[in-house]
Structure 1
Amino acid sequence: MWRQWIVPGVLTAACVAGLTVLVEELKAERPAATPSDCYAVVASKRSVGLEEADCAAHNATYRVALRVDSPDWSLDPGACPGGPYRALRPGPTADTLCMTLNVREGDCLQHTKPLRKTGTRFSELARNTCGPASEVKVTKVVTGARESCGPGEKTNHYSQSALTVCLGKP
């Protein structure tokens, strides 16, 4: 009777060991992002995502403002402080990254969508060359105290990293 438990017991132990190794490799896979790291918007056939980029690169649309401890497996955008932060969790064991726009006055932005039409409506706001496809233009970037934007402009104020970005029509 005890023999019927040997195979399931061995398989369970192997699965637990494999998952433990996998989680440890994911933790060691890349160093944790730090404030000032940047991310570029990348479109694939089915989705749009973010990947690390040099902050000086034209496609580096987001900059990490702060890391927030995320003890569970879900992304909690509410973990970021008040403001229009873009939350990202780069791995199942990583902290939530709260990111601000990495833009300069005069930059243009548009929504990037998957390269192939899919059922998903997900898109990301990405920097692009100013032109007819541009949806918004950065009219003002102020570091420090909260600033007001002009009439008809959208104010994006980030409380931590003290940054105001004004977006208007291109």
Structure 2
Amino acid sequence: MVKPVAARQSVSAAILRGVVVRQTVMVCVLAVVAYLAVWWGFSEEDEPASTMPVFLTDYSKAEKGSCVRFDGPGENDLGLTVVDCKGARAALKVGTVLDDTSGKCPRGDYKVLRDTRHNAALCLLPNAAEGDCFEFDTDDLQRSVVSKFDCAAPRVNVQVVGVASGSCPEEAELGVPYEEMTLCLRRVR
């Protein structure tokens, strides 16, 4: 009789271990699903749901007027994502696509990204409208990380007071000229 009791106990223990393992796996799966749902919910606030981001590794395929954001930790990474220009992360807009890495951008202070693999370059300018706030180096846009923020953010250093076809209004402290417009800015901090 000792053997059947021991056998029943080992079967019960195996069943209990199986239940515990299944419960642990289920809790882990639910935690991952909950995390992804929260991440998706918050990330969707920045980009309108109507657009599908397109990862762009060949800069020659970029279109003038499309907005982009960098993928990865820094702007030196090859690869941009084309995003809706109305999204909060759309800080840069393609001003011109050059079909040669040695080409020059038109008149203006563009941020230039060169793609030597596809022999193309992008001339990028801030995706700006009146009232937008940015953090960027107004003296050297090429080396600057260009980020758009809520105007109350402590990192903001300039605010757009106008996008003019000619000269800037009086409240503008500096004008950044581009081929088709002048970005009129005032320093915030």
Distance (Å, rounded) in 1 between the aligned partners of 2:176 and 2:145:
16
Aligned to 2:168: 148
Distance (Å, rounded) in 1 between the aligned partners of 2:58 and 2:70:
21
Distance (Å, rounded) in 1 between the aligned partners of 2:124 and 2:187:
23
Residue of structure 1 aligned with 2:108, choices 56, 68, 83: 83
Q: TM-score, normalised by structure 1?
A: 0.60
Q: Please list, as runs of the form range in 1=range in 2, the aligned pairs for 1:98-117 lying within 5 A after superposition.
A: 98-111=123-136
Q: Please list, as runs of the form range in 1=range in 2, the aligned pairs for 1:43-82 lying within 5 A after superposition.
A: 44=73, 47-49=74-76, 51-52=80-81, 53-70=83-100, 75-76=101-102, 79-82=104-107
The alignment covers a number of residue pairs equal to 123
Max radius of gyration: which structure? 2
Distance (Å, rounded) in 1 between the aligned partners of 2:104 and 2:131:
31
Which string of whole-angstrom CA distances, capped at 9 and with x for unpartnered residues, describes residues 14-44 of structure 1? Answer: xxxxxxxxxxxxxx96870011111125561
Equivalent pair of 1:32/1:94 in contact (CA under 8 Å)? no
The verdict on how the C-alpha distance between 1:105 and 1:31 changes in structure 2, with shifts beyond 3 A counting, is same
Amino acid at match of 2:150: T
Aligned to 1:124: 145
Higher strand share: 1
Is 1:38 the counterpart of 2:67? The answer is yes
- Structure 2, unmatched stretches of 5+, are 1-56, 138-142
Greater RCO (Cα-Cα under 8 Å, separation 6 or more): 1
- Structure 1, unmatched stretches of 5+, are 1-27, 113-121
Which string of whole-angstrom CA distances, capped at 9 and with x for unpartnered residues, describes residues 90-120 of structure 1? Answer: 45214111122211111111149xxxxxxxx
Distance (Å, rounded) in 2 between the aligned partners of 1:91 and 1:33:
15
Equivalent pair of 1:149/1:155 in contact (CA under 8 Å)? no
Aligned to 2:186: 168
Distance (Å, rounded) in 2 between the aligned partners of 1:136 and 1:42:
24
Which string of whole-angstrom CA distances, capped at 9 and with x for unpartnered residues, describes residues 140-165 of structure 1? Answer: 112xx322343661101111xx1111
Q: TM-score, normalised by structure 2?
A: 0.55
